[in-house]
Every structure is written in structure tokens, then in C-alpha cells.
Structure 1
Amino acid sequence: MKVIEIDLDYIANEESLIALGNFDGVHKGHIELIDTAIKRAKELNVKSSALIFKEHTDNLVNINKKEILTDNDTKFEIFEDLGLDIIYLIDFTKEFMAYSPIKFLDDFLCKNLNVVGVVVGYDYTYGYKKEGHVDFLLDNKDLFKSIDVIAPVKNNHTKISSSLIRNLIKDGDIKKANFLLTRPYKLVGKVIHAKGLGKKMGFPTANLELVDNYVIPKFGVYDTDIIIDGKRYKASTSIGTNPTVENDGIKVEAHILDFDEDIYGKTVQLEVLDFLRPEIKFDNIKDLFEQISKDVEVTRAR
């Protein structure tokens, strides 16, 4: 798979059939869309592609940065596993946002990116003030050889969406979120130095500085896997404010089972598997670490 950074003047040298969307989370609905694009591209004997923005489109107009489910590097890994040929990576700028729907379809997709077919979700919008919609795309079907519109993908009569999955994660229903994502929810972070209290008490932790503005799971303790240099280890992970000790900002602290290596400065991946218990403020440090010992044993037994 090729990742090609482009701007609005980029001219593609090969035809492709393109999948369009924000793809935050790359959940079951997104996967059906990508699979359809790959299948249709093979039928037309062209490359399959997707248009990805460097940051979520909401970040251009909202003051607060969008909480995301999936960073771009993770999206790329998933797309490559699905079999996509090309990712076009572009900044979402005010100039791009101001494109009329027809300019986006005709000038940008057809003329610049050499797109011959499109796959979108039923609620896909584009162009200035999101004036472009599926009906307008279908009204201009003569621009393309192929247009596919993916109907809502549902689970127990509920439409699967990034918003639904965000809410599940915030509610601590991580197992259902993972089912809809088709894989464990993942946080990526750099291991940083902290106060070292866990190490002094016999439970050293990897304290993560997250690399992006991820959706933060409900505060509590989680059964997790942590991936370090491509190797997977079990970990009991606390996500929250650590109210017993300091209550100073949100912290992600992973106690890695049967592991004793210096990993400061490394970027690691934390896969969140299951919610074990809510965050608790204990009366003293002794009670806190007695509970941590129990949490570790629960994680070890899973």
C-alpha cells in the first residue's frame, strides 16, 4: 500500500476507485465500505484508494480538538491489512472546505485524483458547509463509471457509528466497543518518567504520554495488552486521575506483568480489553496497593 501526501494541485498518474469518509475508528461500517471499494476497483481493473485528512475535519472549525478513536498510523495499518492500494493524505484547509460540491467531485476527484469510481456511506457530506450529499453525487453519476452508497451497518437494530463507539468507551463498555471496532481499542503513547511510587511499592508502571487526543475510557482499571517493540505483554492498567495520590490530570499507568526492562522514551501501543473496576479514592497508600495487587491477579487470570 502506498501513502501519498498530496495538496489541492496534486495530479494522480493512475486511475483509482476511491472510498470517502472520516473513518474514525475504522469500525464495521467503515470496513464494509473499504471492502466494497476494493472489490469494485478490481472489477474496473483500477487501484483502490481512500482520501484521509491529516487531522479530523472538525478540528478546523471547533475550538476544542476532536477526540479520536484511531490515529492515522493505526488507520493505515488497518487499511493495508484490508488490502487497499493507495491512501491520499491531505490537509483539510479553509480553501478545501470552501470547495463547492461540484468542484470537489469534478475538479478534485475526477481531474486531479483521476478517480473513476466512488464508494461512500449513506450520510456522506462534502463541499462548502457540507452542501454536497449522496443525492447530489448520484445526480452527477455521469462523472464516474461506478458509484456505491453503503447503507447503515447495524448491530441489534442499532446503527454502528463512531459516535456510538465513543460513548461506549466513555461508559466503560469496552468489550462492546471492541466488538463494533472488530479489534481492541488502542491508545498509543510514549513512556515517560513519573514519581516512581509504584516501583517503590513493588508495582512499577509504564506511564504513558498519549501521542494524540484519544477518547479516554471511563476512569478505572482495565485488563490490557501492551505492545513494546512488536512484542505483546499483559498489563493491568489504571486510567484516571489517581485520586488517592495526587488527582493531577488524567494518567494512563500500565503495570506490565512479569516485565522488568527500561522502556523510558519508547512509544508503545496499549490495547484495552476489558473494564475491571471503577476508579476509587482510598483512605491511604497501603489500601491502594493492596487493591492493585488484587487487580494484577485478576488480570493474570484472564
Structure 2
Amino acid sequence: MSSAIIRRAAVIASLSFAIWGCAQTQPAPAPLPPTTAQAEPAKTVSAEEKALIEAQVQTELQNTDCSKCHDTQPADIKRNGGKHQTEIGCLDCHLEHLPLGTKTIPQCSMCHAPDTQEHFKLPNCLECHRNPHTPLDVTVDDVPPISAGCKTCHPEKGEELAKFPSKHTALNCTFCHPTKHKQIKKCLECHTPHADFMVYEDCLACHQPHSPLNIQYADETPSKNCGACHDTILSQLLNSKAKHGELTCAFCHKTKHPTVPNCSDCHKNPHDNAMMSTFNSECLKCHRNPHDLIY
């Protein structure tokens, strides 16, 4: 073996010994402080527990589950949900749930298809039905003229307004029915009564709001109501000594204004045939005024 090889081996041995010595004299590093709580030891799940967990995961949500998080909406539906309370449940409209579901908020047309009813063709359902959980709380205080929309549900009112023209015909529905659906203004909020004693109920005894000039009344309507407009005639009738003075206005002017009866409706054969053939039905040639008969 050459002297060069011997010297190289001696150097390597010396370096190895030096490195080993350093390693033996360095202090051990301090342990790191704990950063998390120590976990509980894992345990084996029994077959019964496993079955219970799987059943809970696979069970579908029920309508009663919704109220565990959402208390306002069920209360609204109970208060005035209409068919949203009696015919459907939460899951009929809310098919999925966030964050995974994308069909959480339904379209009204999902149930109220435009081709099934004229009213469902109207745009912007929430403009009037602002809370879908109380669909019968209809608000109309901040919407454009909606007479056309109203008539999709109340066509008979539109037809009545058109058939019996009056100043009411030119008004928008919300003029008399402001703010809330089914709210009705009192007649005397706009109109002056015919007489001081009259109240709202007296107006409706003769005038219907959608055909106010088509005046109709019951047989028992008091004559003083008629006298509010026909005071001179009523005064003549009340002061008459004839039997007509004992009758009410509605007895002769039945049901509809301005009904004018024929005398023969009550007086079938008031005179002999000779007189009747001479005067025929021209009773007032002699008796002049039916409200103050000359006899």
C-alpha cells in the first residue's frame, strides 16, 4: 500500500471522529409548545349507532323542519296564507336549499301558469302581492293605474261600470279602493248627502257604487229618503187628503228609479164603461196630480 493512500485514509478517519464528537456535545433542541388541544381517542361506532347516523343523513326534510330556522314565514302563512296554507307546504315551492340548491326562490308561474287564468298574465306579481307568504294581503298604494288588472278578477264590476256610465266610470279602481285590497271608501268621503239625516248606509239603499245612476231600492225604502231629492212632491203627498197620502213613494214607484206606474195597475175598474171609453187611460185629465189628487 502506498504512503499516499495511507495518508488519505488517516485524514478521513480524523474528520469522521471530529464530526461525531461535535454531535455528541450539541444540546438537544427544546420541544415545541402545543398548538392544538389533544384529540379524544378514536372509538369504535356500534352497528346500531351507524344505522342511526345513516338514517338521519338520508331522511328528507319535512315542512315542520323549516320552522326550526324560519319562524316569521310560517307565522305569516298561518295568519293569512290563503291556499298557500291550506293546499301547499314549504317544500312545494322551495324545492332546494342554499348553498347547494339553486331553486330556492320559486317563480309564481310555477303554480300560477299564465295560460290558465287572465290574471296570471299580469307582470310583476310582487307589485301587489308583496309577501308571497300572505298572498291575500294585496297592497295597491304604490302601483300604476291597475283597472285592467283589477278586472281580470272582477270582470263583472268593469262590465257594470261600462253598462251604466257615470263619473265613476272614468275613475281608476284605486281612487275608491286605495292602499289595501278590499278597502272601500265611504260615499260621503267624496259626496255630499242629499239630506242632513243621511248616512253611508242610506246611500247604498239606492245607489250601487259601480252603477250609481242605476237607482234601485227596496219596497220598504222610507219616503223621507226620496224626499231628499223630491221634497216638493213628498210635501204634496204628505199633505194630501186622498188615499195616496197614506202610501210610501216606493209603493207606486217600485224597485227602480224613475218608475212611473199606470193608474190601472191598482185601479182596475175605477169608473163605468162609458166614462172609461171616453177618457180611456187619461186619468190625470181630471185627477191632475197623482201626489195630490183632485177627486
State the TM bucket, normalised to the shorter chain. Answer: under 0.3
TM-score normalised over the length of structure 1? 0.21
**Larger RCO (CA under 8 A, 6+ residues apart):** 1
TM-score normalised over the length of structure 2? 0.22
Structure number with the higher helix fraction is 2
